[in-house]
């Protein structure tokens, strides 16, 4: 019953293409600041002991990176190929899958009883790799279907420009945070917890504010995206857990990889959509609703993990 329902929105292609979200230039500037602030906050929480533990047991890092940057984009393409949504919605799904994990995954990993050191390390490593992997995955998988390839070709996205944007927003703040943590470890330790809370509240507040400002658009098209994001996000969470188990990781690490794979930096996706796609409505509502939904699904999966048998 669900598949025909999702497929029905192909008859509304023109209106989806014409959607324009209420998103001003100053909002884009603020989103840039939010992402940079969040990545700085992630960097100052990186603990040397946690890094040493991860280096001694690299399976978790390898499984997590493969899950995020190889398997999730491939799985997303498979979902798009099977469901055949409107090309703009499909491209939004591919873009979200190409983004690195979001920092809120660190909080949910803590709630789930996962490996927080692995979670923070994966967030940092995935963000560093994002400068190359996000535009590379997006361009590759977005070009595999003729419908989505046409959108990319018409806009003529520069790989280097997208890589530069990701570097400025994620990589440089992360490196500055690592330097700050190394130079001022005591200060970093004191401010790390308040910054974690502030980062979560700022990002959540921004997403809710953007949602409220565009509430009518979401109400008009909600029925078109609810199942797409639900299926996509659920598949990502399950994929991460399976990848953790296939990599012979502990239950604790498998939970972490599940959350890291299912909690994506959809805010970065929104930034890319407004910077390179002129706020393409179909792509934007996928990324925006993902940003809201993964806060809910992350809470649910972390609580479910918490009440399962004690991790080892």
At 83-124, the pLDDT tens digits run: 989 898 999 999 999 998 877 888 888 888 888 888 888 888
Q: What share of the chain is helix, strand, coil (3-state, %, to 5)?
A: 85, 0, 15
User: CB-based burial of residue 68 (10 Å sphere; 0-12 exposed, 13-18 middle, 19+ buried)?
Assistant: buried
What does pLDDT average to over the chain?
Answer: 82
Report domain extents, the chain: 24-306
Q: How many CA atoms lie within 13 A of 134 on its CB side?
A: 34
Indicate the DSSP class of residue 278.
T
- Distance, C-alpha 295 to centroid of its chain: 11
At 230-287, the pLDDT tens digits run: 999 999 999 999 999 999 999 999 999 999 999 988 888 888 888 888 777 788 889 8
Positive/negative CA dihedral, 72, 169, 127, 257: negative
Indicate the DSSP class of residue 167.
I
**CB distance 206 to 270 below 8 Å:** no
Determine the CATH number of domain 24-306. Answer: 1.20.1530.20
Q: How many CB atoms lie within 10 A of CB 203?
A: 23
Residue 7 has pLDDT above 60, yes or no: no
Residue 9 has pLDDT above 60, yes or no: no
Positive/negative CA dihedral, 129, 131, 137, 140: negative
**CB distance 116 to 110 below 8 Å:** yes
**CB distance 269 to 96 below 8 Å:** yes
Q: pLDDT band for position 23 (50/70/90)? A: low
At 158-187, the pLDDT tens digits run: 777 788 888 888 888 888 888 888 888 888
Cβ-Cβ contacts under 8 Å for 105 (sequence gap 6 or more): 119, 123, 259, 260, 263, 298
């Amino acid at each position: 019953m669900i598949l025909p329902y999702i497929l029905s929105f192909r008859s509304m292609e023109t209106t989806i293409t014409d959607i324009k979200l209420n998103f001003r230039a100053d909002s884009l500037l603020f989103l840039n600041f939010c992402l940079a602030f969040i990545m700085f906050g992630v960097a100052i929480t990186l603990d040397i002991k946690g890094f040493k533990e991860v280096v001694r047991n690299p399976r978790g890092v390898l499984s997590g990176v493969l899950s995020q940057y190889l398997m999730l984009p491939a799985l997303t393409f498979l979902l798009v190929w099977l469901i055949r949504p409107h090309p703009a919605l499909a491209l939004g799904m591919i873009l979200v899958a190409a983004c690195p994990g979001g920092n809120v995954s660190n909080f949910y990993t803590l709630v789930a009883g996962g490996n927080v050191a692995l979670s923070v390390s994966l967030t940092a490593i995935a963000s560093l790799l994002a400068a190359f992997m996000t535009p590379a995955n997006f361009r590759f998988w977005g070009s595999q279907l003729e419908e989505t390839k046409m959108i990319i070709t018409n806009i003529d996205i520069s790989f280097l420009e997208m890589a530069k944007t990701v570097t400025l927003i994620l990589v440089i703040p992360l490196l500055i945070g690592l330097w700050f943590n190394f130079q001022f470890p005591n200060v970093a330790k004191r401010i790390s917890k308040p910054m974690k809370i502030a980062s979560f509240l700022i990002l959540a507040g921004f997403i809710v504010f953007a949602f409220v400002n565009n509430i009518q658009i979401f109400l008009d098209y909600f029925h078109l995206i609810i199942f797409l994001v639900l299926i996509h996000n659920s598949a990502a969470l399950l994929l991460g857990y399976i990848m953790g188990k296939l990599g012979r990781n502990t239950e604790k690490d498998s939970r972490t990889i599940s959350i890291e794979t299912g909690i994506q930096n959809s805010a970065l996706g929104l930034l890319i959509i407004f910077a390179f796609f002129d706020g393409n409505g179909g792509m934007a509502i996928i990324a925006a609703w993902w940003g809201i939904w993964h806060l809910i699904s992350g809470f649910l999966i972390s609580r479910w993990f918490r009440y399962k048998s004690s991790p080892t």
